[in-house]
Structure 1
């Protein structure tokens, strides 16, 4: 009998959590998000494409306090008001006035939430924000590591078009990496 109880517990704990995508929101980060933020910033799976994992909470605090000035928008991807990821919109117009009609989108999500439609939902929300709040914006673009198939699928589901392969485009984690350029134009949207 004890063995049956153990099997039942295992099957219950292995059930996949179903996420209601209507509960996915974007909001500003708060210092109270620190523990949630540290979940994905210390995850090796996430770090494969995002950057070096954080080793201290001070790095997380610095991220929360100092990111606002670095991006056009930087929001927490939230489920039930818990920060489970981050999505950002940046512009190169600070450096190149000829590209002020273009912005770049980037996102990261805790690996526990991969494959559930959450990143797609968040990107759709940020696309709406970008094109409604920045009237002169004509183009959103995203650079994705060639090995990051999941992120490529997210962009394609939202309507981004694959433009091409940028060979040896970035030097990341000790090696040159190929990147794929995606774009979504304002004229591509179904309004």
Structure 2
């Protein structure tokens, strides 16, 4: 299955595929955004946030978008790090697709951002599936950040994971 996972930039023609996971309560449960109930609203979101983002890619399985993966670079004195985020349509969970996508990102992102030294990911303490993805992808659990984030009205603990490049040619 993993050999069929690729990454590519999004296009507005991906709206219907994007809507599959953006309208799924299981997916949005862990996200900073609420479940989309309108393709028109999702189209606005894609135009304002996804397409202009410096590093957002479609996770494709057999050429079809089934998720999103993004790297958000920091600026100024924090330019040595970036944050990783991802979403995958729930019907594909547990098949190694996100792990493969994360590994593909790690294989290119250190070249894409000149000053990058580390990739960080914050995961809700209850999101065990995402923790497993990061651990299988070579991330190190750095610690639990207590009462770190207000998520959908509830203060949440988050786990900080990091991947630090030891090879400048990664």
TM-score range, shorter chain: over 0.9
Alignment partner, residue 8 of structure 1: none
Structure 1 gaps, min length 5 = 1-19
Cα offset for 1:132? 1.8
- Contact kept? 2:11, 2:51, Cα under 8 Å: no
Determine the structure 2 residue equivalent to 1:159.
138
Greater relative CO (CA pairs within 8 A, separation 6+):
2
1:91-130 matches, cutoff 5 A: 91-93=73-75, 97-130=76-109
CA offset at residue 187 of structure 1?
Answer: 1.2
TM superposition score normalised by structure 2: 0.93
Name 1:174's counterpart in structure 2.
Answer: 153
Match in the other structure for 1:12: none
TM-score (norm 1): 0.83
| Structure-to-structure mapping, 1:81-92, within 5 angstroms | 81-92=63-74
Could you list the runs of 4 or more consecutive aligned residues of structure 1 that deviate by over 4 angstroms after TM superposition? Answer: 188-191
Check 1:156–1:189 CA distance in 2 against 1; reply closer, same or farther (3 A cut): farther
Instruction: Look up the match of 1:131.
Output: 110
2:61 paired with 1:79: yes
Structure 2 residue runs without a partner (length 5+): none
Instruction: After TM superposition, give the deviation of residue 84 of structure 1 in Å.
Output: 0.4
Q: How many residues align?
A: 168
Matched ranges for 1:9-88 at <5 A: 20-50=1-31, 51-66=33-48, 67-69=50-52, 71-88=53-70
1:189, distance to aligned residue in structure 2 (A): 8.7
Cα deviation per residue 1:28-80 (whole Å; 9 max; x = unaligned)? Answer: 111221111111011111111013100111122123222233x3300000112
Q: For residue 187 of structure 1, give the secondary structure of its aligned residue in structure 2.
A: coil
Change (3 A) 1:189 1:146: farther
Which structure shows the bigger proportion of residues in helix conformation? 1
RMSD over aligned CA atoms reads 1.6
